[in-house]
Amino acid sequence: MYDSDMEKVLTVLLAGGMGERLYPLTKDRAKPAVPFGGMYRIIDFTLSNCFNSSCRRICVLTQYKSNSLARHINRGWNIMHTELGEFIEVMPPQMRVNSNWYLGTADAIYQNLYSIDQNDPHIVLIVSGDHIYKMNYQKMIRQHRHTEAELTIAAIEVPLEEAPRFGVFEVDASNRVIGFEEKPDTPKPLPDKPDKALASMGVYVFNVDTLRQSVIKDAGLSGSSHDFGKDIIPRLVRGKAAVYAYNFQDENQKEAQYWRDVGTIDTYWEANMDLVSVDPHFNLYDRSWPMRANLPTLPPAKFVFGEVGKRLGVAVDSIVSAGCIISGGMVDHSVLGPGVRVNSYSHVQESILFEDAVIGRNCRIHRAIIEKNVRIPENTVIGYDLNEDAKRFRVTHLGVVVVESADKFL
């Protein structure tokens, strides 16, 4: 729906990260293109937030291994009303300024100032495509305008022991930022909550003039890492710019706020497991805040063989996507992407199976991630002897086994 208040807002979605900690899931795709929750990609959650927030003028900045991501966006998100000025554009590095890849988040904006200025925004919303959460960005933009801020940063309370992973704020009574440190060794707790710290979510609302001046100045500093958290924000705060925090308002409609960084295999696996409980931590079924995906044209999932005491095609506490066939196998507490097949007498537990994976007969799969198109041979056991698994596959701290290729079985 057209919203005149958002007409002069441009959204820039940073989607160029390598995702090294998610390897091998990022071997052939960018981190935001990694499948999540059966039928989604990680980037779909940020894009859905944009769409639901009436932020429909979007530039997606890609970089590494971007073909899969670009194809996903072009096929699944071609829903904008261009006659109303809406668009979503995938923008690989243009190298207008120099021949470098993006040197940091601020440099990504600097190298695309020409494209930003071509859209003539008053406000630029900067988001990333690698978190799972629900947020109405329009509420944040309204606060930004109301406070007459130059920069507004989305903030969330996190346990103090987790705060060294984030940028940490100090704010005054009006929520104006008076101190900011990126990934501090000793983060400062909230005054009234000594076990909590106020952390940056990496969601920024800039006045376009402030953004332009900041990244141009930063580009000329040889000692800069060209990063918003490490350089731009601390410099603005030290310079007494009008920088405000926006307290995260969760659209997930649960008692506890939900915002997950899925930057490692373990956190990625945990976030997927959050979806399959009876009362899931993250609600995919809320029609008031729909999550959009690029859905393949597939038949409904099918469960066959009901031979009690012999073989049952059944799935419990699981997400089973379209086109799946559970043929006499058991799926428990797992997430299955489109077109997966689980054959007779096999048991899949606490696992994530990507599109078109096939589990042969008599297999036992526990706490594993099976890549797209991988066929697991009959009688294979994964996840029960981690020392043995580690000889062929990546095994994480939580004991998650990542099977990236069928070649490992040859």
Shared fold status for 4-273 and 302-409: no
SS3 96: coil
Residues 114-138: tens digit of each pLDDT:
999 999 999 999 999 989 999 999 9
In the predicted model, what is the mean pLDDT of residues 215-236?
Answer: 95
CA distance 3 to 303: 45
Enumerate the domain spans of the chain: 4-273, 302-409
* Between 32 and 309, residue with greater pLDDT: 32
Residues 84-115: tens digit of each pLDDT:
889 999 998 877 667 678 889 999 999 999 99
The pTM of this model reads 0.94
Question: DSSP class of residue 185?
Answer: S
Residues 310-336: tens digit of each pLDDT:
889 999 999 999 999 999 999 999 999
Per-residue pLDDT for 376 more than 70?
yes
Per-residue pLDDT for 366 more than 70?
yes
> Please, are residues 260 and 267 in contact by the beta-carbon 8 Å criterion?
yes
SS3 103: coil
pLDDT the model gives residue 309: 78
CATH C-level class of 4-273: alpha beta
pLDDT the model gives residue 188: 93
Indicate the angle between helix axes 67-76 and 43-52, nearest 10 degrees.
Answer: 30
In DSSP notation, 276-340 reads SSSS-SS-S--TTS---------PPPEEE-EETTTEE-EEES-EE-TT-EEES-EEES-EE-TT-
Contacts of 287 (CB under 8 A, 6+ apart): none
Per-residue pLDDT for 2 more than 70?
no
Per-residue pLDDT for 66 more than 60?
yes
Confidence of residue 4 (pLDDT cuts 50, 70, 90): low
Task: Tell me the CATH architecture of domain 302-409.
Answer: 3 Solenoid (2.160)
pLDDT the model gives residue 183: 94
Per-residue pLDDT for 1 more than 70?
no
pLDDT the model gives residue 181: 95
pLDDT the model gives residue 110: 94
In the predicted model, what is the mean pLDDT of residues 179-196?
Answer: 93
CA distance 381 to 342: 14
Question: DSSP class of residue 230?
Answer: I
Per-residue pLDDT for 80 more than 90?
no
Residues 69-78: tens digit of each pLDDT:
999 999 889 8
Average pLDDT, the chain: 93
Residues 254-280: tens digit of each pLDDT:
888 999 989 899 999 999 999 998 888
pLDDT the model gives residue 92: 86
pLDDT the model gives residue 99: 67
pLDDT the model gives residue 260: 92
